[in-house]
Structure 1
Amino acid sequence: MARKINIKGVIIPNSYKWFYDWFEEDSTCPNDVEKVLNEANGEDIETYINSPGGIIDVGSEIYTMLRFYKGDVKQKIVGEACSAASVIAMARYCEMSPTALMMVHCVSSGVRGNHSDMEHMAEVLRTADEALASAYMAKTGMSKEEVLDMMEHETWLTAEQAKEKGLIDAIMFEDKTEPVPLVASTFSLPTQSQMEKVKRMIKEQTAKSESALLMAKLNFLKLKGDLKDE
């Protein structure tokens, strides 16, 4: 059985973890992930992502841990994977619930100072954007320009849209859809569920028929006198 890692709530540094735990707020820090990976020691891992994002360098650290892990990792976006959480989702094979959302955008920060400070921070943010873009590029094969444009416009994606862009590998539950055979005629084939329903009805009817036949045989034996009621 695969080891489970919940990547839920805000992505935070290790030093913030006690604070979120105290208020019983969902959060994920690198130590949470590292602990499970070390205990798993190469066993299969499944991550369950539902996070609005958080501190970007923490997201990068968790992304790197998962990429570096020697065992098999399957990620599942079950709610939302926004900002730093979407970067984590790029680390390995990833599925997304049909009702989930993904959001990618540019890095943001706050700064005070003169125009030189502002210009410097703008350059830092542009550099950070390019660093994050590499995770999306590696996953999708998209160009840097395409990824940066997607980030610039704070792009929200459904599971279908994320799959089309190559940001995820599959949509959860889609392989359970009944196959639809190709036909060249004017009639409709029954679905698999319809056939299963009829099959159950036949079995139930057969069981009833066998029971009725047995009762008829017993009554016949009684009439012959071969079988007597006690």
Structure 2
Amino acid sequence: MKKFWKWKNQQVWNQETQTETVERTLLLNGTIAEDSWFDDDITPQMFKEELMDGKGNITVWINSPGGDCVAAAQIYNMLREYEGKVTVKIDGIAASAASVIAMAGDTVLMSPVSMMMIHNPMTIAFGDSGEMQRAIDMLSSVKDSIINAYELKTGMSRTRLAHLMDAETWMDVNKAIELGFADEIIQRNGAVDELEVPQVSMLYSKTAVVNSLMDKIAEKCRIQQENETENSNKVKVDSLMSRLHLMKNWR
């Protein structure tokens, strides 16, 4: 079993209380669980034991393209139940299942160059129509559970969140803050940006891009068809003029 998480503890001096405290840091890098946590009792228990093997606030650094949604759900629940404050910091990408884990943070911070992506859950199924329908029902239930986490964090309607997942939505830090998936921007020195969020933000939707491309192709075909119609009419006029000249000369 290859661990995708790593714990780091370090002593931090608190200027306000003039005391030294232990800061716990959880690093989540790469794919969330190479092996599925479904029906796995050992790996989730190992993660939970390491999580509970200390006290105090936790900073979770995420840079992951996603992975096993079962593992993400269990990690989300464990972090939500943890007694200390959980601060999530996204320094690269929090996509798919990793975005679910990010929702467990009491505060979610993103780097100015980081990205977040949400989409519908996926699986591989094999069998007859009954097996396919059971897979569809399972994916629908998983999607509902994921929306629960997004809804609690963002306060958005379930319908709108479902549409964003359908479209495979990518967000930069400003759009993530605007929609409620993140709270603040991480500055280079580690401080939090207290300035007003810029008006320029980026939201990329795979579905929107495909639809836009199809609209442009349809418009191009329409113009081409109109040009062909005009050229066709022009040929007919030229042919008519030639016939008139022939008739005139015949006389």
After TM superposition, is the score higher than 0.5?
Answer: yes
Q: 1:71 aligns with which of 57, 81, 84?
A: 84
Hey, what's the Cα distance between the residues in 1 that align with 2:174 and 2:136?
Answer: 33
Question: Structure 1 residue runs of 4+, over 2 Å off?
Answer: 13-16, 29-37, 174-179
Segments of 5+ residues of structure 2 without an aligned counterpart are 1-11, 13-22, 38-42, 197-251
Per the normalisation by structure 1, the TM-score is: 0.67
Hey, what's the Cα distance between the residues in 1 that align with 2:79 and 2:192?
Answer: 25
Give the C-alpha shift of residue 35 in structure 1: 4.2
Q: 1:156 aligns with which of 170, 189, 208?
A: 170
Q: What one-letter code is carried by the residue in structure 1 that aligns with 2:89?
A: K
Give the C-alpha shift of residue 124 in structure 1: 1.2
Larger helix proportion, structure 1 or 2? 1
- Structure 1 residues 116 and 65: alpha-carbon distance in aligned structure 2, compared to 1, 3 A threshold: same
Q: What one-letter code is carried by the residue in structure 1 that aligns with 2:30?
A: G
- Structure 1 residues 99 and 33: alpha-carbon distance in aligned structure 2, compared to 1, 3 A threshold: farther
> Is this contact kept in 2: 1:75–1:94, CA < 8 A?
yes
Q: Which residue of 2 aligns with 1:9?
A: 30
Q: Deviations over 1:143-195 (max 9, x none)?
A: 1101111111111110111000000111111745789xxxxxxxxxxxxxxxx
Q: Tell me, yes or no, if structure 1 residue 100 matches structure 2 residue 89.
A: no
Hey, what's the Cα distance between the residues in 2 that align with 1:78 and 1:157?
Answer: 14
SS of the aligned residue for 1:11 comes to coil
> Is this contact kept in 2: 1:14–1:30, CA < 8 A?
no
- Structure 1 residues 120 and 88: alpha-carbon distance in aligned structure 2, compared to 1, 3 A threshold: same
Aligned residues: 166
**Alignment root-mean-square deviation, CA:** 2.2
- Tell me: higher relative CO, structure 1 or 2? Use CA pairs within 8 A at least 6 residues apart: 1
Hey, what's the Cα distance between the residues in 1 that align with 2:178 and 2:194?
Answer: 19
Hey, what's the Cα distance between the residues in 1 that align with 2:90 and 2:123?
Answer: 26
Q: What one-letter code is carried by the residue in structure 2 that aligns with 1:167?
A: F
> Is this contact kept in 2: 1:50–1:77, CA < 8 A?
yes
